[in-house]
A and B are shown apart, each in its own frame.
Chain A
Amino acid sequence: MNKASLIAISRLRIGTDGHGVTTLVAFHGCPLRCRYCLNPECLEPNAKVLEMSPEEVMAEVSKDELYYIATNGGVTFGGGEPLLHSQFIKDVLELGASRWHTTVETSLNVPRSHLEELFPFIDEYIVDIKDMDSEVYESYTGRSNDLVISNLRWLVEKGLAERIFCRIPLIPGYNDVESQRVSQYMLYLEGINRTKKFTYKTERL
């Protein structure tokens, strides 16, 4: 089986990445170049990474099965951009991880084929939408949000709107509160009701 580069496997997370007690599997690599990226090591070509197989990841995440059962928690795939590793994630889920709550933290700025491969297995999509305004999005991330919008619509058309939770950040220097509100409203028009507005931290802790 294939191996993936991970920046971390963070266990016993509570209330930060989806429902219940979760284990975050964080992948290296991202198509975006966000100025206030929380995990810039994802972008460094020489970053210290863990090369792991799906079996190794499964062995690690299984350690907390008791807590997943007790709290309806499970595994969250993040990063970086996890959907770029859709085949790897599918392998982990097919090894048994799909019996727990499965979440991806994604920008959705990936080719549709990745979503098509994974959507039957994913319980929740935490989407960092940045801003629905294409100019704001592009100036902040360096990429167009055409794929994001198109993937969102595809998921909604598949009847999965309830599984989508969009995070709408206030990005200092890039958008404003009004822009956040407009993004929230535009998402509502797209059929997405689960959203949360918050402010990006601009300094690393």
Chain B
Amino acid sequence: MTGKEKCEFLKGIRKRMAEANGIPYETRECTYEGDCLGTCPICEQEARELLAQIRLKEANGAPIQVDEDAIAMLEYFQKYGLLTPAAIERMKLEKRRILEPLMGDICLHPDEDMKRKWKQREDDEKEAGMKRLKNRVNLAEKELDESTKDDDLPFTINPFKS
């Protein structure tokens, strides 16, 4: 993930937060061509100003609105990186599926059915883990038995054996 990609992502977050809270907002065009950390003075100032306006609205009784899309954007940003037009289209498509699973569609969201499947898979894995653990214990016991056979020892340690 480059700084430029991060910058684009953060710009998208600012835009959505402004829209969600009814604040007119226009991002200033960045003319810097090199890479950055997403913390240039222009971006910092935009974020500061926007937060100040949101806080002002909050002080006047309007609770802060969070656009759920921002969180969806975060997930897709992590998945696809730069929000190119194609990535945005893909995001919209998947978001549609997330919010409105269609009949017969493959649901990407952890709906109840998916949750059940995941739970089942987790349970299966745990059961398999338990089996592996038991096998290890059995194997270790077997090895121990083998190594302590009377025949292998130079003298007997069994007090009941004459």
Contact = CB atoms under 8 A, between A and B. Distances in A.
A20 interface: yes
Given A14-B77, A181-B132, A70 B16 contact: yes
Interface string A50-66: 00000000000001111
B70 A70 contact: yes
Interface residues of A: mostly helix, strand, loop or mixed? helix
Interface residues of B: mostly helix, strand, loop or mixed? helix
Contact of B6 (A14, A178, A184): A14
Interface string B1-33: 100001001100110110000000000000000
Given A181-B129, A181-B132, A12 B51 contact: no
Interface residues on A, range: 20 to 34
Nearest to B49: A66
A185 B133 contact: yes
B6 to A, nearest CB: 6
Contact of A71 (B13, B38, B44): B13
B39 A66 contact: no
Contact of A64 (B47, B122, B126, B130): B47
Given A12-B38, A70-B17, A188-B126, A65 B51 contact: yes
Contacts of B126: 185, 188
Nearest to B50: A66
A182 interface: yes
Given A71-B13, A185-B126, A66 B74 contact: no
A12 B14 CA distance: 13
A66 B54 contact: yes
A14 B9 contact: yes
A66 B51 contact: yes
Given A21-B74, A69-B66, A71-B13, A178 B132 contact: yes
A71 B70 contact: yes
A63 B45 CA distance: 10
A61 B130 CA distance: 44
B18 to A, nearest CB: 10
Interface in A13-44: 14-15, 20-21
A21 B37 CA distance: 14
A87 interface: no
B80 to A, nearest CB: 12
Contacts of B47: 63-64, 66-67
A163 interface: no
A48 to B, nearest CB: 19
A70 to B, nearest CB: 4
A70 B14 CA distance: 8
Interface in A162-205: 178, 181-182, 184-185, 188, 193
Nearest to A13: B6
Nearest to B52: A66
A143 interface: no
A113 to B, nearest CB: 34
Contacts of A69: 17, 54, 64, 66
14 contacts: A11-B37, A11-B39, A14-B6, A14-B74, A15-B74, A66-B13, A66-B47, A66-B51, A67-B13, A69-B64, A69-B66, A70-B70, A181-B129, A182-B133
